[in-house]
Amino acid sequence: MKNAIPDEILLQVEKPARYVGREVNMVKKDPENVDIRFAFCFPDVYEVGMSHLGLQILYYFLNRREDTYCERVFSPWTDLEEKMRENNIPLFALESQEPLRKFDFVGFTLQYELCYTNLINMLDMSNIPVLSCDRTDDDPIIICGGSCAYNPEPLADFVDIFYLGEGEVLYDQILDMYKAHKKAGGSKAEFLESLLELDGLYMPKFYDVSYKENGEIESFKPNHPKARKTIKKVIVTDMDNVFYPEKQLVPLIEVVHDRVTLELFRGCIRGCRFCQAGFVYRPVREKTAPTLLEQAKNLVKCSGHEEISLISLSTSDFTCFPELANGLLDEFKDKLVNISLPSLRIDAFSIELMEKVQEVRKSSLTFAAEAGTQRLRNVVNKNLTEEVILDGCKLAFDGGWTKVKMYFMLGLPTETEEDLRGIGALTDKIVEKFFEIPKENRPKPVTVNASASCFVPKPFTPFQWDAQDTYESFGEKARIAKRSITRKQVRFTYHNTKMSSLEGVMARGDRRIGAVIYKAWENGCRYDGWTDKFNWEGWTNAFEETGVDPAFYANRVRSYDEILPWDHISVGVSRQFLINEREKALRAEVTPNCRQECSNCGAKTFGGGVCYDDIQV
Amino acid sequence: MMTYRFKFSKGEEIKFIGHLDIVQAFQRSIKRADLPIAYSNGFNPHQQIDFASPLSLGYVSEGEYGDLKLTQDLEPKEVMERLNAVLPDGMVIKELIRRRDGVKNTMASVSAGRYKAYLDSRITPKMVEENLENYFALKEIIVMKKTKKNFKETDIKPDIFQLINASEGESAIIEMVIAAGSTRNLKPESVAEGFYNFVGVEYNKFKIGFKRMDIYMVIDEKLVPLTYGVEF
Ligand code: SF4
């Protein structure tokens, strides 16, 4: 097989291995011998995309079908893009090295809002018309999934189908229907119409939207008799029997995460009010420990990786965590396989576990405190007290840890200067805690890295109606927080404020944002999530040129009766629940987690998961 | 414990994977093959495997070497088969033998390398035929060599041991044996660059393909492959 890019060019770009495929466990099929060709696109660079668990799962899930060949596509880095355009080389898939235009489906996974210009760019580099309305029956069908698909409107002009939910549920049906349709010689338009039978799929062309004079949405209506008023996400309910790959693609160059990933459960019981994942993935559905141990053994063997990472939104909440952790320790402790435990709550059990599984000296301890005061932590329903943090630090310092990472958010609703100064107060106390242990027990000086992100209100969270701070105000708040730190052992950094502003616009954008994204792409914006590529001027010009006011989307409070751009989509959590949560937030009241007490958020309608845990049959 | 020496090839499929990543790929393959690899002692144990000489990115090779140590004495044939079953496409072990104790490791042994340079179409086999001997007969061959900070004029002639016209059909190919290793080391690119200068064609290294044919050490003043005479 010949590379799509000639050697002469590959030798002149950074990391040419990004573009040639042939990794360990790559699926090989003859494209001539399949009915359906599916290009799985990740709109970011190779090393990021290859570390994404969803890609690994769907890749093998789709390829388990003999009639389908799923191939991978990543966004070429800017150095290669330049050369491809210069030499008229279209974007290609890694497996066959063939251009995307030949494919039946071109699918994108949308993991963060700042990849939208990359999506446009990848379509354009494939010589596929960027706007859906310009595409013909000869062009592939563009389908998008991933967490950003829950507010699909900013990309509505470019995408044919948004898949809302977990890929394992519907893809077989979609592909079966497609195959039958193709055999019968049906048109693309007819195929999309036939998909209206299925829930979980949103096809923008079947809906019309109109606006009021003040810019708010006046109406959002189906224009096809079969189009649903609300489209509900689809999810897996039986996690033990859902497909999980027996293999994992093992890259031949270093990527962001080089390790076996084990997915413990989906969803989160906590309901932190700023966290979109905590709402859109409800309810919690767990795998059992024996299933996971089996999968771990398999994946370690077929990958040769020396690290297993347990993936979930909050690992300590996994009900079989002790059983799983001990099982993994037994299995792997002599085989020099590391176990990495992100998203762990720091308590006696986890400290003991971390001492067993990892190099004490190397790792650092992480607390997502999110806010500097208890009041504000209650507002966001972050169930973590100062006492717990300080106790955890004490345990860790006694165990030999000297590095602590603290995550905070700037600009949370109701935040005051006192909350910002609380960041300094809390981190200072952690340093003091360290000095409480006897000098001879301190292996190294302590460092506390406090890093602050800028709050971005997201759809399907209780703060979806709230205003985001402007980037100027984020900057001011960051300075206040920084000044509040007195200890020299504390290092404070904060996220790019302009990037967060842009993310704020994209996250809650409507269809009119599509024109801005297109313009920004024309202005040269790419890789908007990369600090060194971020082109603020390209974006501000795009807003000006399209006459769209970013503040309308980012910095405005909405009323409860305004039609929100994503109101036609249901993640199971009811609007009323979100309103209640917001009202409680303003009163700094907390809500118990799903295991303490069900708050009837609405996710019970899926008929599984944590909502039914207490019900004994 | 048993140490093995192996020779492997690196094909087109994998030529854009650099040395450190090749090492990593080997380590993972050993794990996939479930071989009883020996680990170093110490705080951060690592697999006892090492390689003769890093190959430049973009080169293919028929003669790469390494040593690996197992905690059990398995049949070489078995070790080779188990590894070949799991190595990434384009990496094939062609030879694997038990190695005697007391032999220098591959890296320390290297003295010379044999390479082929596949010249671009502006150079014809005829041009090679007509010029190669004269080129080799030059008293000194000056090319710009990259040092840590800048470029420096260097005479590479003493490090060229042999030049052969290996052209096939329409493609111009120069085969060379040149110094390699820690004391003297020459890049095949420099030899090609010198030749382009000699025939007056502008040199562009991105247009030329390189293949390492073999790596040699010196035994009794002769150049021999790294597997020569080291068998247990
Ligand atoms: S219905 Fe109850 S248990 Fe289920 S996700 Fe919602 S709050 Fe949690």
Contact B207 A302 (CB under 8 A): no
Which residues 6+ apart lie within 8 Å of A96 measured at CB?
Answer: A1, A31, A69, A71
Helix A497-507 crosses helix A471-483 at what angle (to 10 degrees)? 130
Residue A351 pLDDT exceeds 90: no
- The confidence score (pLDDT) of residue B149 equals 81
Tokens describing residue B106 = 């591959």
Give me ligand 1 centre to Cα B55, in Å.
57
Give the whole-angstrom CA distance, residue A569 versus residue A580: 19
- The confidence score (pLDDT) of residue A360 equals 46
- The confidence score (pLDDT) of residue B106 equals 83
Residue with CA at minimum distance from ligand 1 atom 5 = A283
A532 touches chain B (CB under 8 A): no
- DSSP three-state, residue A402: coil
Q: Which of A7, A17, A301 sits opposite B32 (nearest CB)?
A: A301
- DSSP three-state, residue A280: helix
Residue A361 pLDDT exceeds 70: no
Give me ligand 1 centre to Cα A605, in Å.
10
Which of A290-294, A311-315, A496-500 has the lowest average pLDDT? A311-315
**Model pLDDT for residues A67-110, shown as the tens digit of each residue:** 999 999 999 999 999 999 999 999 999 999 999 999 999 999 99
Give the whole-angstrom CA distance, residue A308 versus residue A295: 11
Contact A11 B89 (CB under 8 A): no
**Burial state string for A435-449 with b = 16 or more CB within 10 A and e = fewer than 16:** eeeeeeeeeeebebb
Is residue A10 within a helix (H) or strand (E), and if so which, with residue range? helix A7-10
Contact A304 B88 (CB under 8 A): no
A34 touches chain B (CB under 8 A): no
The mean pLDDT of A147-163, rounded to a whole number, is 97
Which residues, given as ranges, of chain B have pLDDT below 70? none
The mean pLDDT of A268-292, rounded to a whole number, is 95
Q: Are B60 and B11 a contacting pair, CB within 8 Å?
A: yes
What are the backbone angles phi and psi of residue A505, rounded to the nearest 5°? -70, -45
Q: Which of B10, B30, B32, B82 to mutate to test the interface with A (most CBs of A within 10 A)?
A: B32
In CATH terms, is domain B2-109 a member of 1.10.3720.10?
no
A254 touches chain B (CB under 8 A): yes
Question: Where does the pLDDT of residue A395 fall: very low under 50, low under 70, confident under 90, or very high at 90 and above?
Answer: confident
Mean pLDDT (chain A, rounded): 94
CB A326 less than 6 A from any atom of ligand 1? no
Is residue B179 within a helix (H) or strand (E), and if so which, with residue range? strand B173-179
Which residues 6+ apart lie within 8 Å of A544 measured at CB?
Answer: none
Give the whole-angstrom CA distance, residue A256 versus residue A250: 12
CB pairs under 8 A between A and B: 61
- The confidence score (pLDDT) of residue A29 equals 97
| Cα-Cα-Cα-Cα dihedral sign, residues A302, A303, A307, A308 | negative
Is residue A102 within a helix (H) or strand (E), and if so which, with residue range? none
Q: Are A460 and A281 a contacting pair, CB within 8 Å?
A: no
- The confidence score (pLDDT) of residue A616 equals 47
Tally the residues of chain B: 232
- The confidence score (pLDDT) of residue A617 equals 46
Q: Are B106 and B36 a contacting pair, CB within 8 Å?
A: no
A17 touches chain B (CB under 8 A): yes
Which residue type occupies A214? N
Helix A321-332 crosses helix A289-303 at what angle (to 10 degrees)? 30
Contact A17 B21 (CB under 8 A): yes
Pocket-testing residue among A599, A612, A613, A614, ligand 1, by greatest number of atoms within 8 A of Cβ: A599
- Give me the residue spans of the domains in chain B: 2-109, 112-224
CB A364 less than 6 A from any atom of ligand 1? no
- Cα A504–A507–A513 angle (5° rounding)? 95
B122 touches chain A (CB under 8 A): no
The mean pLDDT of A406-413, rounded to a whole number, is 96
Going by DSSP bridges, is the β-strand pair A207-211/A201-202 parallel, antiparallel, or unpaired? unpaired
Give the whole-angstrom CA distance, residue A525 versus residue A43: 13
- The confidence score (pLDDT) of residue A346 equals 74
- Cα A520–A526–A528 angle (5° rounding)? 90
Residue A355 pLDDT exceeds 80: no
Compute the CA torsion angle A129, A132, A135, A141 (nearest 10 deg). 100
Q: How far is CA A20 from CA A15, A38, A215, B89, B211, in A?
A: 10, 18, 47, 12, 19
Question: Best-predicted range by mean pLDDT among A271-285, A325-339, A429-443?
Answer: A271-285
B142 touches chain A (CB under 8 A): no
Contact B206 A304 (CB under 8 A): no
Which residues 6+ apart lie within 8 Å of A86 measured at CB?
Answer: none
Q: Are A280 and A601 a contacting pair, CB within 8 Å?
A: no
**Model pLDDT for residues A27-63, shown as the tens digit of each residue:** 999 999 999 999 999 999 999 999 999 999 999 999 9
Residue A358 pLDDT exceeds 70: no
Q: Are B53 and B114 a contacting pair, CB within 8 Å?
A: no
Residue A362 pLDDT exceeds 60: no
**Model pLDDT for residues A470-527, shown as the tens digit of each residue:** 999 999 999 999 999 999 999 999 999 999 999 999 999 999 999 999 999 999 999 9
Tokens describing residue A448 = 């506390």
| ipTM score | 0.93
